[in-house]
Amino acid sequence: MNVDLTDLRTELSRDPGGPTADLIAAEMADAHAATSARPASALVADSVSAWFGSRKVLERVSLAMRPNEVTALIGPSGCGKSTFLRILNRMHELVPSASLSGTVTLDGVDIYGPQLRVTETRLKIGMVFQKPNPFPTMSIEENVLSGLKLSGSKSTIDKRQLVESSLRRAGLWEEVKTRLNALGGALSGGQQQRLCIARALAVSPDVLLMDEPCSALDPMSTRIIEETMRELVQQVTIVIVTHNMQQAARVSDQCAFFLVEKMEEPGRVVEAGATAQLFGSPRDQRTADYIQGRFG
């Protein structure tokens, strides 16, 4: 498993001599110190279907998102990827007409069951949204700490240290360390998104869901966030929705291809498996077509 990961990362070959390499090494060391090599969690969805009103948008999706791996959900627009992602931390039910069936378990515990309150679930399974959404009335530091305040969880770690380690893990510390009191909205789009990642990390979630986190960002910011994801996956399980095939190939270990076959039909998982296999030798013709850009 570890060997696999290393192989994959070498394969992805991010330039090792780059100016950020040392920085990342330092951040990794810090991140490890902060979380003391906590084992990540497994998130398993079992025959999940979803509806908006009477319209079925997702049909019997079963997918295991393994610990310490990045799982990418790919597929054309409107195929239910984001809906599936939002089911994984109970954001789906915020839409008044939304309903679902099937089960989602986090390390064997049903997140829709009586054992977990909805707020606990969301605390354990963090989310980063498509559009960066830092709280505009809060400073950078307050944004990072907002999760603690909002969820009412008590942190044993020193606040200052938590801010630093979270920002380091999100790859933002060096850029903002001199102006932690500036408003979050004063940052660039890419920085805002990394601030949102830091905010999600500060409550130390077991799983991090990312809904097209780079779609509004420039290539440089995208690169930094992708690097960040590869570091983070050492401690948290990551599920990412992306429209970008190259991104899925670069960052993910596992990949699931969603597709709506005909109009008005719900989305299904056509093929899921190791990213190298899915991109190298897809079993399904539709997967091959999509990956090679013949549609979607």
Residue 264 beta carbon to another protein: minimum distance, rounded to whole angstroms: 27
| Interface map 37-76 toward another protein (x if CB under 8 A) | ----------------------------------------
If the CB atoms of residues 213 and 282 are measured against another protein, the closer one turns out to be 213
For another protein, the closer of residues 109 and 186 by Cβ is: 186
Distance CA 173, CA 145 (A): 14
Within 128-187, the residues that bind another protein by CB under 8 A are: 129, 131, 133-139, 146-147, 149-153, 179, 181-183, 185-186
**The only residue of 199, 230, 250, 268 in contact with another protein, by rule CB under 8 A:** 199
Among candidates 205, 213, 214, which has minimal Cα distance to 236?
205
28, 231 in Cβ contact below 8 A? yes
Give the residue with the Cβ less far from another protein, 38 or 117: 117
CA separation for the pair 86, 197 (Å, rounded)? 17
Q: What angle do CA 34, 196, 39 make, to 5 degrees?
A: 35
CB closer to another protein, 87 vs 272: 87
Rounded CA-CA distance 5/197 in Å is 22
Instruction: Enumerate residues 84-103 that contact another protein by CB under 8 A.
Output: 89, 91, 94
> Which residue, 246, 221, 220, 226, is CA-closest to 238?
226
Least distance to another protein, CB of residue 244, Å:
21
C-alpha–C-alpha distance, residues 124 and 147, integer Å? 11
Of the pair 86, 268, the CB lying nearest another protein is at 86
Alpha-carbon gap, residue 196 to 214, rounded angstroms: 12
Contact 209, 229 (CB under 8 A): no
Residues at the interface with another protein (CB under 8 A): 89, 91, 94, 119-123, 126-127, 129, 131, 133-139, 146-147, 149-153, 179, 181-183, 185-186, 196, 199-200, 203
